[in-house]
Amino acid sequence: MAKILVTGGTGYIGSHTVVELHNAGYEVVIVDNLSNSHIKILTQLHAITGKWFDFQEIDLQEEKAVQDFADANPDVTGIIHFAASKAVGESVEKPLKYYKNNFYGLINLLTAFNRKLNFVFSSSCTVYGQPDSLPVTEAAPVKKAESPYGNTKQIAEEILAETAAVTPDLNIIALRYFNPVGAHETALIGELPNGVPANLVPFITQSAIGKRGPITVYGDDYETPDGSAIRDYIHVVDLAKAHVAAIKRLEEGKSELNYDVFNIGTGTGSSVLEIIAAFEKSTGETLDYKIGPRRAGDIVQIYGDVTKSNQELGWKAALDLNEMMRSAWEWEKYIKANPF
Ligand code: NAD
Ligand code: WQD
């Protein structure tokens, strides 16, 4: 089977994707600079799969290190590129860190692996902004990004499309994720937020375990059924499996285009208050929350049209909100008892 490079493979989505690639029979090599993850994830991956994965601590911003890796690994036929900085709020405070990290890494990879290559890219539904109509399809216009982070995803998609247009041997799929949540069923890997979580579900689990105070619902006066904002939450394991489907499609040469984009979500929207209720129902825990003002930059609602992914990738989300909340909670309890 093909040897796949997973950049950012000790990170949240990357680590779950390493498990699913292994389960699908792929050989995996991980590159990560551990700037937002922990080396112990390799031990956790071994506990889940029985395999010690080939890991190299490399900063993708270092052009020579990336080239040396590419030259030393001629058998890498595919790359799944997760490695990037991803905190929206931080990107507003430190735009140059985001433009440097997210573009140098991508460009160094594309330059170093200047050979026949299959490439799956981590994009985001954030490129849509507030869609004009819902569910949002891949044909929807990309709107002006609300943050430097979102801008890095939009521009990265342009870099990939324009490079693919003049590089017939480079076959690319960009996956536009909606909101990844949850953790592996073993509770041995999950999200490791740095500092106070900005995202809803990790804040919920940290509040429930007593690590944070009450949850603030950022606005209940939106034009939605219960007034709180709506998102398309997808289980991280379903998301990981979408990457296997994407790399398989490229490996099998099934893509008529050498640059294509797919929405990866459930196609269903859930409000903040519905997520809170789902967590309480799934875990039996009672959450302490209050209604606060809207958060700057938030859109009202978004959920994906996933017809293209279902039909062309042969992928469909299978895990429901209950499993998303249950697994997120089990992981939070695990990491409290077994801090890295
Ligand atoms: P994460 O921070 O958990 O994982 C990213 C990994 O990349 C980390 O292990 C980090 O150490 C590594 N990394 C960062 N910069 C690097 C560099 N220069 N060289 C080598 N390694 C580097 O984030 P995640 O949530 O797993 O997200 C993975 C990808 O998915 C990112 O590109 C992110 O933008 C994208 N994405 C995430 C979400 C989300 O809500 N989590 C949604 C849409 C898209
Ligand atoms: C979800 C909903 C909040 C926290 C972000 C990035 C996006 C992607 C996924 C990287 C919103 C509300 C949140 C809280 C709340 N990341 N909320 N109280 O903003 O949809 O997307 O993460 O690619 O690019 O923008 O996710 O989890 O931050 O918020 O009420 O304490 O929960 O207002 O409506 P978001 P989120």
- Residue 262 Cβ contacting ligand 2 at under 6 Å: no
pLDDT at 212 exceeding the cut of 80:
yes
Confidence of residue 91 (pLDDT cuts 50, 70, 90): very high
- Residue 126 Cβ contacting ligand 2 at under 6 Å: yes
Domains in the chain, please, with CATH? Answer: 3-180+233-265 (3.40.50.720)
Q: For residue range 218-262, list pLDDT tens digits in order.
A: 999 999 999 999 999 999 999 999 999 999 999 999 888 999 999
Compute the distance from residue 118 Cα to the ligand 1 centre, in Å: 19
Q: For residue range 251-307, list pLDDT tens digits in order.
A: 999 888 999 999 999 999 999 999 999 999 999 999 999 999 999 999 999 999 999
Q: From atom 23 of ligand 2, which residue's Cα is the shortest distance away?
A: 124
- Can you tell me which atom of ligand 1 is nearest the CA of 34? 11
> In the chain, which residue ranges form alpha helices assigned H by DSSP?
12-23, 40-49, 63-72, 88-93, 95-112, 148-165, 200-208, 236-251, 272-283, 307-308, 321-337
pLDDT at 2: 80
pLDDT at 181: 98
Burial class from Cβ neighbours inside 10 Å (0-12, 13-18, 19+) for residue 188 reads: buried
Annotated catalytic sites, by residue? 149
Distance, CA of 179 to CA of 232 (rounded, Å): 6
Q: Mean pLDDT across the stretch 55-69?
A: 98
pLDDT at 1 exceeding the cut of 90:
no
Instruction: Report which bound ligand comes closest to the CA of 147.
Output: 2
